[in-house]
Amino acid sequence: MSNSFNTTSLCDPSDRICVAQLYEQEVIVVPVLLLAIFLGTLLTLCFLRLCSKKEVDAVTTHHTHSHHHTHRHHTDNELNAQRHSTNSRHHAHRQHRHSRQHLQGIDAPPALNPLEYEVVPMTPQTQNSKPSSQLAAPPLSTERQHESFQLITPLPLSFAMKQDNDVTLYRATMDRKAVVLRVLKETANDREQQNFLGFAHFLSELGPHACLPAMLGVVTVRSPLIMVLEELENRDLLGFLWRCRQDHQGVGKPCDLTEKRIFTMAGQIASALEYLHSKNCIHGNIGARSVLVGQDLSVKLWGFGPAYHRRTEESSAGKEMEMRKWQAPEVLARRPFSYSSDIWSFGILLYEMVTLGEPPFPRIMASELLQYLQRGNTLKRPANCSNSLYSIMKECCQWRPQDRASLAEVTSKLWLGSWDILLI
């Protein structure tokens, strides 16, 4: 009340200028000072924050420069090695492109890319979970000596064969017979040696069969370790089918691959697969890449690597993901391999043979194949495929495993089909 009284006594209430001058310090000066202090504090904080960031950047740059200076010599060596590796790959790629003009089953013809629409995952390889001591060596009755072989020449890899840095293939003669030598590198450690011998033992346990390549011996006395197998002159069926595709285009010697021949070849493969199942062995790798062709166009089933690894390792279904277009739906769904999943893959093999090596489901991404099959889709009938052969193909590739034909039924129909064609 005193304040109001002072104001009234000093100024006329109607004189606003007098009142403003009287309260100038409280109304104008103090708020301005407070605002100035706030702005100054805000600018100071921003400045300090900016300086701190510059110091951190300077320290980081200095540390990076020092680290780079310390390891410059090693980095230069690595870069030189990378340049050398890149140049080598470019040189190999030029040679690869040049070799496509002379097809010998090593690569696909230019018009066919078997991995088109494929997405090959980069999956880490799991280590063998069993100790080396648990892997058995092959029987000594198959022991051979290094001096048994003559005319040894390197055997080039076909497209169907994977590059293996541990094993090198050679063509040779033994007892006047053409053989293939699987030679383990001399620098192999104990685990690699035991794995090599374990695979030889696995093959010997399968026993002889007319439609399986014969293992003729094993060299275990001294390094390098060698596995001796019979040679089939036309090598893998996939390369053979590609050569037939070129022959049909007027290149080279005509390829005598009639439908009767397909029935006969397929019957031999089915016979080998039926024998394996009787030995409680699921192949799990059926495809043209896993079949070998002899000079008389007889065929023998090969490609036992995945079957051996499933016996010696803790592997899950679908581990061989790069071949998933040949795998049954339940395997694509990461369920275990079974005898019926081999029958599905056999139906895909029939498709390869009829189409001269065309990849199955060529317009479907491998990652979308399971959904494609779930919608009721199946293999399309090739233009040159007979009703009898296509019906066998469909019976093998039924969605439900229990609906697929048995191997005995498939074998019977294949032999019957070959005789029907012969009578016609």
233-424 carries CATH number 3.90.1150.10: no
Helix axes 259-278, 339-354, angle to 10 degrees: 160
- The pLDDT assigned to 201 comes to 92
- The pLDDT assigned to 66 comes to 47
pLDDT at residue 69 above 50? no
pLDDT at residue 128 above 50? no
Q: What is the C-alpha separation between 333 and 320, in angstroms, rounded?
A: 13
pLDDT band at 74 (very low <50, low <70, confident <90, very high): very low
Please state which of the ranges 110-124, 145-159, 397-411 shows the lowest mean pLDDT.
Answer: 110-124
Instruction: Provide CB contacts within 8 A for 48, sequence distance 6+.
Output: none
The mean pLDDT value for 75-88 works out to: 50
- The pLDDT assigned to 268 comes to 96
What is the rounded end-to-end Cα distance, in angstroms, of the chain? 129
pLDDT band at 161 (very low <50, low <70, confident <90, very high): low
Q: Where do the structural domains in the chain lie, given as residue ranges? A: 15-70, 134-231, 233-424
Which tens digits make up the pLDDT trace of 188-203? Answer: 999 999 999 999 999 9
> Closest by alpha carbon to 307, among 286, 331, 287?
286
Alpha carbons within 13 A on the beta-carbon side of 418: 15
**Residue-wise over 26-52: b if at least 16 C-beta within 10 A, else e?**
eeeeeeeeeeeeeeeeeeeeeeeeeee
pTM of the complete model:
0.66
Q: Which comes out higher in pLDDT, residue 132 or 356? A: 356
Alpha-carbon Rg of the chain, whole angstroms? 37
Overall fold of domain 134-231 = Phosphorylase Kinase; domain 1 (3.30.200)
The average confidence (pLDDT) of the chain is 76
pLDDT at residue 368 above 70? yes
- The pLDDT assigned to 47 comes to 81
Q: How far is CA 390 from CA 344, 363, 381, in A?
A: 13, 20, 7
pLDDT band at 248 (very low <50, low <70, confident <90, very high): low
- Whose tokens are 């049909």? That residue is 248
- The pLDDT assigned to 60 comes to 45
Q: What is the C-alpha separation between 42 and 45, in angstroms, rounded?
A: 5
Total number of residues shown for the chain: 424
306-308-312 Cα angle (round to 5): 115
Q: Which comes out higher in pLDDT, residue 73 or 228? A: 228
The mean pLDDT value for 346-352 works out to: 97
Range picked from 78-87, 109-118, 306-315, 326-335 for highest mean pLDDT: 326-335
pLDDT at residue 5 above 50? no
Please state which of the ranges 58-72, 160-174, 183-197, 390-404 shows the lowest mean pLDDT.
Answer: 58-72
Please state which of the ranges 34-38, 94-98, 132-136, 229-233 shows the lowest mean pLDDT.
Answer: 132-136
Beta strand pairing call for 291-293 and 226-230: unpaired
pLDDT at residue 341 above 90? yes
Beta strand pairing call for 291-293 and 177-184: unpaired
The mean pLDDT value for 61-86 works out to: 47
Which tens digits make up the pLDDT trace of 10-56? Answer: 676 666 677 666 666 666 777 788 888 888 888 888 888 777 655 54
**Helices then strands (H, E): number in the chain?**
14, 7
pLDDT at residue 266 above 50? yes
- The pLDDT assigned to 115 comes to 44
